[in-house]
Structure 1
Amino acid sequence: MSRSPGPALLQRSSAIGLGNTGPVTAARTQHREPAAPPLAAAELDRLRTAVSAALTEFLDRQRETLAAMDPSLIPVVDEVCALAAGGKRLRPAFAYWGWRGAQDGVAGEDDAAVLTAVAALEFVHASALVHDDVMDGATTRRGRPATHIGFATRHTGDELDGDREMFGTGAAILVGDLALVWSDELLRRSGISVAALSRARTVWDTMRTEVTAGQYLDLLRAAGGLPGPDGALTVARYKSAGYTVQRPLQLGAAIAGAGPEITDAYTAVGLPLGEAFQLRDDVLGVFGNPAVTGKSADDDLREGKQTLLIALAEEAADADGRRLLDDLLGNAGAGPEEFDALRALLESTGARTRVEERITERTALAREAIADAPIADDARAALDALAVAATSRTA
C-alpha cells in the first residue's frame, strides 16, 4: 500500500468536482509524463477472457429463456450478444482494478465472482450505445449496422407490415432496455456476497441514473441548450465519462468495502480520466481511421454531434467558418469533400489542438492522482497503464 494522499491530491479532487469543468485552455506541457508500465499480457487476457465468459454464459441462458417464450425473440438476444462481443472491456477493467486496489491484503470476495459482477458494466454500455445511436440517427456501430438499422432491414427482409424505420427504432429501444435490465440481473447473480452487493448498489444506481440523465443532456444540447464549451463538457461527463472510469472504480471500491479515502482518490482519478477518454472518442469520431474505429469519420459530422471540438471551433471561427459550420454540421446530404472542409476548419481554428492539449492535461492529472492514491502497488501499475491506453487509443 502507498502513502495516504496529501493536501495536493485533496486540492486536485476539489478542483475537478461537480459543476467545475475548468477553463478550456492550453495545457501546461513543459513536463513530459513518463510512459506507463505495460499491463502484464497474461493478466489482461485473463480479465478479458473472464468477462467474455461471464457474458456468454449469461446470454446463453437468456437465449434459452427467450426462445422458450417464442423463437422470434432469438434475434433480440442475438443483437445483445453482438453488442456485448465488441469493445475493449475498459469499464470492467477499471472496476476490477478498483477492487484489487482497495482490498488492502484482506481476504474478501471471490475473484471469479467479482469478475462476473464487473462484467455487468458491459450491458450498461451496450444499452447506452443502442439508445445513443437511435438519438443520433447513426448508421453503423463497430463495423456493423446500428441496431435500429439492422432491425429495419430485418423488417424489409421478413416482409413485415408498417413502417420499417419505426419498427427498427422501436426494436432498438427495447434491445437497449433489455440490456439495461440484464445488467441488473447479472450483477445480482454474480456470486459476490450480500454485503458487497448491497454496497455496490449505491454506486450502481447512481451510475445508471447519470448515464440516462447524460443522454437527455446530450439531446438538449443538440437542440440548442447547454451552449458553449462548458455545455459540451457537462454532457461528456454525465453521458460517458462518469460511467467509463469514475463509477467503475468506485464500484470496485464498494465491492471491497473501502472507506472514503479510497473512494475520494478514485474520484480524483476518474473525473479527469473519464473526460480525457470521452474527448479522445470525440477526436476519433472525426479524425479516426474508419478501418480501425469501425465507423465512418463523417458520421459524427453528419449527425451534428455538438462536441467540445465543435464548440471551440465555433468560438474561434470567423464569419465564413461559422457559416460553414451552420451549413454542413448535421447536414445528411453533405458529401465527403464537404466534411473534409469541416475537418480542415477544426484544424485551422486550433480546436483539435486545444482538445488534444486538454486530453494531455487531464490524463496527466489522473496519473498524478493514481500515483498518490492509497492503493495496492499492482493496482496502481494497472490503472496507470489503463489510463494511458484509454486516452491514446486509435479505436
Structure 2
Amino acid sequence: MTKHHRQLPPPAAPRTVSPQLQRAKMLDRVEERLRAVLDEEHRRWRTTDARGAGLVESLAELVSAGGDRARPTVFLTGYLAAGGDPGAPAPVDAAAALELLDTCTLIRADIRENAALRRGIPTLHVSRAAEHEHGGWAGEARRFGEASATLAGDLALALADRLAARLPAEPWRVWDELRRERTIGSYGHQALAAEYLEDPWPGRCVAGCDRGCSAGWYALRHPLRLGAALAARPDLDAVYAAYARPLHAAWRLRGFLDGGPEFTWDAEMLRELLLDAEERDTAERLIDELVCRARHTVAAPPLAEGWREELAAFAVRVAARDA
C-alpha cells in the first residue's frame, strides 16, 4: 500500500519591515527615553528640592505636549537610510538629545518673541509669570517668568548634552558643530531683524544657505549628517549635504507661499503685493525643481533597502502644499 505524503509549502520568507515602520518604532523608543530621562530627573529633586522638581515638571509638560519631533525624525531617517541598526540604543539617545535641544531653542525663542502659546499650552515664561503674580511674590512677574523659562531651557540643554556625551567621537563632533552653528545662526537671524535687514523672501536659501544658517543646516543637514556619522557611513556626509540644501530651499519657499510659522505679517504683505498668479506658478515650479534636485542626489548612493525611495518620498512631503 503506497503512502501519500502531503507536500508542505516552503517556509515563507521573512517580511521586510518598511522604512516608515522602522522609523516609527524607533520614534516610540525616543518617546520612552524622553519620559525616562525627565522622570529620573524629577525623582532626583522631588525629595530634596521641591522648587527644582517644579522646574523639571514644567519642562516635562512642554516635552510631553508633543510637536512634530522634526529633528529626531530627520536624524533617524539619515541613520536608517545609512544602514544603522534600528535596535541600537545610541541613536535613541541621540534623537532624544536633539528633541531636548530643540525644546531649549523653542523656549528661548518664545521668550524673545513673547509668544503666548507653544504646542497648545501656555509658554513657560507666561505660565511662570502667572504663578508669580498669583502668589503675590516679590519682584516683577514678567522678569521672574522669563528667568524661570531660561533656566528650564538651560536644564533641557544640560540633559541633551548628557545624552550626547555618550556618542562616539565622530558623531559627537557633528553634534558639537550643530550646537555651535545653531547658536551663531540664531544670533544672526535676530541681528538681521533688529537691523531691519531681514527679508521674508527666502532668496538666500534658494541661492544656497551659507555656513551657520539658523534654519537649513540645523533643520535638515546636520541631523542627516549625524545619522550618517552614527551609522559609520562617512561616505554619505557629502550626499546628505547635497540632498539637504535644495530640500531646505524648497521647504522655505513653501513656507513663504503658504504662510508657515516663520513667515509672519511682513511675508504676508509681500506675498499680496508682489506675487500675482504667474509669479506664484513660477515659485511652484522652482519648488518642484528643487525637490527633483534633492531626489536626484539619493538616486545612486548605496543606501539601506527601501530607503532610497523613502528619501525621495520624504523630499516630496517636506515641500508639499498644506492640505
TM category, shorter: 0.7 to 0.9
The residue number in structure 2 matching 1:219 is: 190
- CA shift for structure 1 position 393: 6.8
Instruction: Work out which of the residue numbers 245, 250, 256 in structure 2 matches 1:271.
Output: 245
For structure 1, which runs of at least 5 residues remain unmatched after alignment?
1-38, 190-195, 289-296, 314-342
Shifted more, 367-376 versus 206-215: the winner is 367-376
Deviation at 1:351, TM superposition (A): 7.7
Query: Is the 8 Å Cα contact of residues 247 and 291 (structure 2) preserved in structure 1?
Result: yes
Instruction: Say if 2:134 is the partner of 1:157.
Output: yes
Structure 1 residue 134, shift from structure 2 partner: 1.6
Cα distance in 2 for partners of 1:356, 1:238 equals: 23
Q: Equivalent residue of 1:272, what SS?
A: helix
TM-score, length basis structure 2: 0.80
- Cα distance in 1 between the residues matched to 2:118 and 2:77: 28
Q: 1:220 Cα shift? A: 0.8
- Return the offset for 1:75: 3.2
Question: Residue 96 of structure 1: which of 58, 76, 80 is its match?
Answer: 76
| Counterpart for residue 43 of structure 1 | 22
% identical aligned pairs = 30
Which residue number in structure 2 is paired with residue 10 of structure 1?
Answer: none
Tell me how far 1:352 sits from its aligned partner. Answer: 6.2
In structure 2, distance between residues paired with 1:220 and 1:349? 33
The correspondence for 2:99, drawn from 110, 113, 122, is: 122
Q: Which amino acid is 1:58 matched to?
A: V
Partner-residue secondary structure (3-state), 2:53: helix
Q: What's the CA shift for 1:204?
A: 0.4
Is residue 113 of structure 2 the alignment partner of residue 143 of structure 1?
no
Deviates more, 1:93-102 or 1:179-188: 93-102
What's the RMSD between the two structures over aligned residues?
3.2
Per the alignment, do residues 358 and 51 of structure 1 end up closer, same or farther by CA in structure 2, a change over 3 Å counting? farther
| Aligned equivalent of 2:220 | 245
How do 1:1-395 and structure 2 match up within 5 A? 42-85=21-64, 86-103=66-83, 111-189=88-166, 197-224=168-195, 226-228=197-199, 229=201, 233=205, 238-259=213-234, 261-281=235-255, 286=259, 300-301=264-265, 309=267, 313=270, 344-345=272-273, 348=276, 356-392=284-320, 394=322
**CA distance, structure 2, for counterparts of residue 214 and residue 181 of structure 1:** 20
Counterpart residue type for residue 47 of structure 1: M
The runs of 5 or more residues in structure 2 that have no matched partner are: 1-17
Q: What is the letter of the counterpart of residue 245 of structure 2?
A: L
Q: Is the 8 A contact 1:237 1:275 kept in 2?
A: no
| Alpha-carbon distance in structure 1 between the residues aligned to 2:134 and 2:285 | 48
SS of the counterpart of 2:40? helix
Whether the aligned pair in 2 keeps the contact of 1:102 and 1:258 (CA below 8 Å) is yes
Structure 1 residue 73: Cα displacement: 2.2
The CA distance in 1 between the partners of 2:211 and 2:274, in whole Å, is 19
User: Hey, what does 1:318 align to over in structure 2?
Assistant: none
Asked which structure has the greater CA Rg, the reply is 2
What amino acid sits opposite 2:80 in the alignment? R
Structure 1 Cα separation of the partners of residues 67 and 59 of structure 2: 13
Closer, same or farther in 2 for the Cα pair 1:278/1:82, shift >3 Å? farther
Give the paired residue count: 301
Structure 1 position 239, deviation (Å): 1.5
TM-aligned CA distance change 1:113 to 1:230, over 3 Å? closer
| CA distance in 1 between partners of 2:281 and 2:119 (Å) | 26
Greater RCO (Cα-Cα under 8 Å, separation 6 or more): 1
In 2 relative to 1, CA 362–75 (structure 1 residues): closer, same or farther, beyond 3 Å?
farther
- Deviations 1:115-140, CA, capped at 9 Å, x for gaps: 23222110111111111122222222
Local SS of the residue matching 2:213: helix
